[in-house]
Structure 1
């Protein structure tokens, strides 16, 4: 007879690995199921905001990267920037973030099994993954934006909003600013994140389907700085970005990270929210209050979801989108307040 674990975590990205670290510290017998080999790359803005840096530090982790001192918005001749008030963020390659978390999980003695999870069965006492011999009291779905577990449980909600997509590529060039620069265009945004002495990452968020180079040409200032011969990685994509879940709890299955629901990458807080959600999930399982996880998740993400939703709606209104950066430029204190509320 197979041994019953306390937690099976499906998905070995940042949300799943952070959940595993919190779980092992709480004394839970934990196993992670992740079919991909580490380190796992992903289309990502790669800017860790100060909240994410603090959350990683609370786990005893430090991710290598380039300091980020704030956020700068650019739209034509209009520019506005705000420094972080609670310490710097870090521009870090997604592979470095994943490698740091993955190494810590292995060092903590948590098995990471090369399993792809399809079907999930549960009863009043626990969860079974058929064909694997794995059974646990709880299952954590941390399997990403298009979570197969969320879909298999009927928790996926179809969105009627205009879909947005993300594209990312790296360039060999010296960062020209210690800020994450957000360049606002007609159909989306371009994020430039300093990642090292001779490396920047460029992430494009857009509602138009077109190749990366075509999208970048819509930002002439960036296109001039970043000729294609300086590109050092292939383009990675993700989307549609908006994903909704009916609930974060379904019987003995709990959802965390992008699997729990995602609004947009516009404010760059995905990793911070995943880390916060991991801690809240494990705390509630430890206390025997899993039914409180939904309200704790809502409380932890409410401000972020509201501000992100508001900004996305404004950015998708043709009449309002051109006014965002000029308005922020005229109201720098308000802009700084919003930046630091999210950071």
Structure 2
């Protein structure tokens, strides 16, 4: 009998597998998609995520990020506020580059990756049957629309009061123009600009408007002039972003990453949180106390959820959104504190 099956072979699932192998557990990853997986994401790693990857011996190639820059258009022209990371640089990394680096690390660790999805589970006193095969534990790391979350009965099906938000991402074939992640604010949402290679910039837009990306971009008047004539790649989308769970542990089944619940990508801390959850979940499994992960999950996510949910509520109305950058300019200490809270290790 295996000690652990990981459902989902994205970055967080592979991190679970690496931590499990280091703990001496017999672990297997199940992922139906073969090879390197791409998805819509901002591609900016916070300093905490860079440090978590380094502890796993993973050092993906990318562009150093020195902080966050908020930008919008005011009556007197472009306004901006900037806060640098105090915990060292983050890194802009293409999703495919990050996934390939983790995939290579898992292969070196001798962890098998099986090309199948988890479709059924049954809880037993001392193990869980995963598609009929016994494993002492199962970790669901299978994303926003997690099948493991549904199979374990952990989905919170109560109706959402907040507007549903979606993300779209595209790559721009141009040299980066900033060493910061730029967040451009507009009435329709936020656009995140992240340098990911010497000749490539990632652009991600978060919005409640399901309009195609090309039709949303003119609303970002501080950004549109830079995009004129720039070649763009394939647009990828994700959403709805808000996902709620009743709990993160059910018997011997644990949820990590987006599968464990998601507020929004507004603050860009998702991968750092997922990597911290991966480490905490494996620690609970190795100790034979999977229920302890619920407490660890709450501790890890509390700061992020409060900041993200608070900023979402505060900026829901378009008139309020126009005051975000001016407020950050007037109170640089508060803006710097918020960025530092999000950038530090979980």
Verify same fold: TM over 0.5.
yes
| CA RMSD of superposed structures (Å) | 1.1
Give ranges in structure 2 of 5+ residues lacking alignment: none
Deviations 1:114-166 (A, max 9, x none): 00221111211211123xx6320000000001101111222112333210000
User: Which residue is equivalent to 2:148?
Assistant: 149
| TM-score using structure 1 length | 0.96
Would you say the 8 A contact 1:187–1:316 is kept in 2? no
- Report the secondary structure of 2:322's partner residue: helix
Would you say the 8 A contact 2:62–2:197 is kept in 1? yes
User: Which residue is equivalent to 1:272?
Assistant: 272
- Report the secondary structure of 2:305's partner residue: helix
**Deviating more after overlay: 61-70 vs 120-129:** 120-129
Shift of 1:284: 1.2
Deviations 1:275-315 (A, max 9, x none): 00001111111122221111111001100110000011111
Would you say the 8 A contact 1:8–1:32 is kept in 2? yes
Rounded to whole Å, the distance in 2 between the matches of 1:290 and 1:72 is: 40
- Matched residue count: 337
Q: Do structure 1's residue 175 and structure 2's residue 172 form an aligned pair? A: no
Shift of 1:228: 5.9
- Report the secondary structure of 1:61's partner residue: coil
| TM-score using structure 2 length | 0.95
User: Which residue is equivalent to 1:291?
Assistant: 291
Rounded to whole Å, the distance in 1 between the matches of 2:26 and 2:197 is: 38
Rounded to whole Å, the distance in 2 between the matches of 1:275 and 1:129 is: 24
**Deviating more after overlay: 144-153 vs 18-27:** 144-153
- Report the secondary structure of 1:157's partner residue: coil
Rounded to whole Å, the distance in 2 between the matches of 1:129 and 1:141 is: 11
Would you say the 8 A contact 1:155–1:246 is kept in 2? yes
Rounded to whole Å, the distance in 2 between the matches of 1:102 and 1:19 is: 12
Rounded to whole Å, the distance in 2 between the matches of 1:195 and 1:253 is: 35
Q: Do structure 1's residue 54 and structure 2's residue 65 form an aligned pair? A: no
Would you say the 8 A contact 2:7–2:13 is kept in 1? yes
Equivalent positions of 1:47-86 (< 5 A) are: 47-76=44-73, 77-86=78-87
Rounded to whole Å, the distance in 1 between the matches of 2:297 and 2:138 is: 17
Distance change in 2, residues 1:228/1:112 (3 Å) = farther
Give ranges in structure 1 of 5+ residues lacking alignment: none
Rounded to whole Å, the distance in 2 between the matches of 1:163 and 1:79 is: 27
Q: Do structure 1's residue 17 and structure 2's residue 18 form an aligned pair? A: no
Consecutive aligned runs of 4 or more in structure 1 exceeding 3 Å deviation: none
- Report the secondary structure of 2:5's partner residue: strand
Q: Do structure 1's residue 334 and structure 2's residue 331 form an aligned pair? A: no
Equivalent positions of 1:199-238 (< 5 A) are: 199-227=200-228, 229-231=230-232, 233-238=233-238
User: Which residue is equivalent to 1:250?
Assistant: 250
Rounded to whole Å, the distance in 2 between the matches of 1:288 and 1:5 is: 14
Shift of 1:229: 4.8
Rounded to whole Å, the distance in 2 between the matches of 1:43 and 1:228 is: 23
Rounded to whole Å, the distance in 1 between the matches of 2:117 and 2:9 is: 11
User: Which residue is equivalent to 2:89?
Assistant: 88
Would you say the 8 A contact 1:175–1:199 is kept in 2? yes
Rounded to whole Å, the distance in 2 between the matches of 1:54 and 1:235 is: 29
